[in-house]
Structure 1
Amino acid sequence: MNPDMLEAGPVGAKVLSVFDFDGTLTRHDSFVPFLKFAFGKQEFNRRMLKLALPGLRFLLRRMSRDELKAQLIRTFMTGVEKAWVQQKAEEYCKAYWNKLMRPAGLQSVADEIGSGAEVTLCSASPAIVLQPFADRLGIKLIGTELEVVDGVLSGRLTGNNCRCENKVLRLEAIYGDLGEYRLRAWGDTRGDRELLAAAQDAHWRHFHSAKRRSRKQR
């Protein structure tokens, strides 16, 4: 952090430290591997076949990333009991923590907690899947919310996919005017651009190799 960043934000303001999850604190995406873990290889492959056409439409730019994400959620999460997903998320976190998490990222989260900052994850992945990770990290969680009706997932989202401008909007809904904080943020993809732009202290691919860090935000 340079001296200008230390002076950014209101004098005496609380530090709000926001970490993206997938690719930032983790070595790769967590949600699709979770689906494979939860449903088993055979059922996972069967359901993924249903996404072949939507995937092609996405590659041809005839479907947005958010639309493809919604289709993925419908394919795997429609009619599934919330309690079952929560249990599988706990098992997934326990089984894959060491393989998935970046040690440098874990240390950075611990450092932010130790500094007295308010610390949260802010991720496009479903909150129900990431909750065990947030609990183990000892921080708060903002993620994409899945609709639950009578204890069963409907396959629909509650609100918008938590990426791009929606990350900032979700943070504002919980913490209020972000200008009242000294905002620190860590991200690694195009979906984090607005979050990083809102921060006085922004970290792009901070835990990646120098080569990966040098790539432009896409």
Structure 2
Amino acid sequence: MLEAGPLDAKVLSVFDFDGTLTHHDSFVPFLKFAFGWRKFSHRMLKLTVPGARFLIRRLSRDELKAQLIRTFMTGVEKAWVQQKAEEYCLAYWPKLMRPAGLQSVADEVKSGAVVTLCSASPALVLQPFADRLGIKLIGTELEVVDGVLTGKLTGNNCRCENKVLRLEAVYGDLGEYRLRAWGDTRGDRELLAAAQDAHFRHFHAKKKRKQLR
């Protein structure tokens, strides 16, 4: 855990997105929404073997994520994804977002804190959600060449230690802030450990608020 920082330190409030502010993962449902059931199902079949290898721990989560991105996003126009992300946000906001999470974000914004999402999901998909929340966004970046996605990531998947590294790249020395953080999975462990005020599964039902392992 970081030291508390200067007495007059600015508050930096960081929210994970999937499972923390939402009821469940948002990216795979987005792919189904954007590509339609037939294309989605066909492309998911290509991930059967990688998925099996992940389950027996022969493939890492980051490697599986890279294959998912490559399978769905190679050769897709950035503008098309942005448009689909806007439509997805509009259509799924009421059923996807946790009301208590939305209120917490609003409270942090009202308090004058610097508020940001920090998520492993592609920033390109989450931007409409961040815009609607009125906060900043740090997410996994997809490589774009001449307006077209290459199917590769720019940098690392934004989870685990990479969440802290990305925050430092954007905001500088985190010791200069009073860091507050909300997360719900192993991928948020380093972020929560770096915060003076950490909240694990804060918006979940009480029976699901187990200690982070």
* Alignment TM-score, normalising by the size of structure 2: 0.98
- Check conservation: 2:143, 2:151, Cα contact below 8 A: yes
- Check conservation: 2:4, 2:175, Cα contact below 8 A: no
Q: In the TM superposition, what is the alpha-carbon distance from 1:9 to its structure 2 partner? A: 2.8
RMSD: 0.9
Match of 2:104 in 1: 108
Counterpart of 2:211, as a letter, is K
Q: 1:148 & 1:75 partners in 2: Cα distance?
A: 15
1:136-155 superposed matches below 5 A: 136-155=132-151
Given candidates 191, 214, 217, the residue that maps to 2:212 is 217
Match of 2:115 in 1: 119
Match of 1:156 in 2: 152
Runs of 4+ in 1 over 2 A off after TM superposition: none
1:133 aligns with 2:129: yes
Given candidates 88, 102, 106, the residue that maps to 2:84 is 88
Q: 1:15 & 1:9 partners in 2: Cα distance?
A: 10
Match of 1:4 in 2: none
Given candidates 159, 168, 172, the residue that maps to 2:168 is 172
Q: 1:107 & 1:127 partners in 2: Cα distance?
A: 22
Given candidates 19, 23, 35, the residue that maps to 2:19 is 23
- Check conservation: 1:21, 1:123, Cα contact below 8 A: yes
Match of 2:48 in 1: 52
Q: 2:41 & 2:58 partners in 1: Cα distance?
A: 24
Structure 2 residues not aligned, in runs of 5+ = none
Q: How many residues align?
A: 211
Q: 1:175 & 1:136 partners in 2: Cα distance?
A: 22
Q: In the TM superposition, what is the alpha-carbon distance from 1:117 to its structure 2 partner? A: 0.1
Q: 1:46 & 1:21 partners in 2: Cα distance?
A: 27
Q: In the TM superposition, what is the alpha-carbon distance from 1:216 to its structure 2 partner? A: 2.9
Q: 1:206 & 1:217 partners in 2: Cα distance?
A: 12
Q: 1:216 & 1:11 partners in 2: Cα distance?
A: 30
Query: What's the CA shift string for 1:183-212, capped at 9, x where partnerless?
Result: 000000000000000000000000001111
Identical counterparts, % of pairs: 86
Match of 1:3 in 2: none
Match of 2:60 in 1: 64
